[in-house]
Amino acid sequence: MKNKLSKETKRTAIITTIICFIPIIIGACLYNRLPDTIATHWDFKGNANGFSSKFVGVIVFPGILAVLNIFTPFMFSIDPKYTNAGEKIKAVIQWIFPITSVFCTTITLGSALGYDINVELFAPIFVGILFTVIGNFLPKTKQTYTIGIRVPWTLNSEENWNKTHRMAGYLWVVCGILFIASAFLPESEILYTILLCVIIFVPIIYSYVIYRKENK
């Protein structure tokens, strides 16, 4: 049975969806000024290593983020534990797509128009800020099927969920700050990889360890 979305969630979904379409509109206005092939991916050193047609780069990619943004409230609505999620964490998740779309499209369009974009500086700072913001809300996140560290051990135990998200919150904030700091360090691509692995795998391993202790 579907849950009824709150007015705040619906309002946020409308605003964020509108913002998601702004990069597409700007890209369409600049379309004739862009080269046929544009850079859409960069390595850790800021070198372009992935290219797409300008249609894919300025229309399809931000369009996908817009669709995901529209789809997110639907996922909230069919979550049996929807009411557990606070309005703030739902808003944070909803805002990720438009902010990412604006950030990525700005870099893509700026690079395509010949501007010198310092991708190796801006990208890790952006990612670090995202991790830090999300990390601040993780300890307050209650059990849901759409938000949080959703592994069998956390979903089957509220205590496991709470302990895992409390630890993960501190971990994400620390790793987010390190991500931002690493943007100013030379040859930091190995550090980025390590931080990503820590953020992804440490909470999962931690939740499993708690599960094993609970079931001894």
pLDDT at 141 over 90: no
CA dist., res. 211 & res. 216, Å (int)? 9
* Mean pLDDT across the chain: 88
CA dist., res. 165 & res. 142, Å (int)? 9
% of the chain exceeding 90 in pLDDT = 55
pLDDT digits over 56-90, tens only? 988 999 999 999 998 888 887 788 887 777 778 88
- Residue 177 is predicted with a pLDDT of 95
What does the block give as tokens for 53? Answer: 């047609």
Q: How far apart are the first and last CA of the chain?
A: 36
pTM of the model: 0.84
Task: Provide CB contacts within 8 A for 117, sequence distance 6+.
Answer: 107, 110, 111
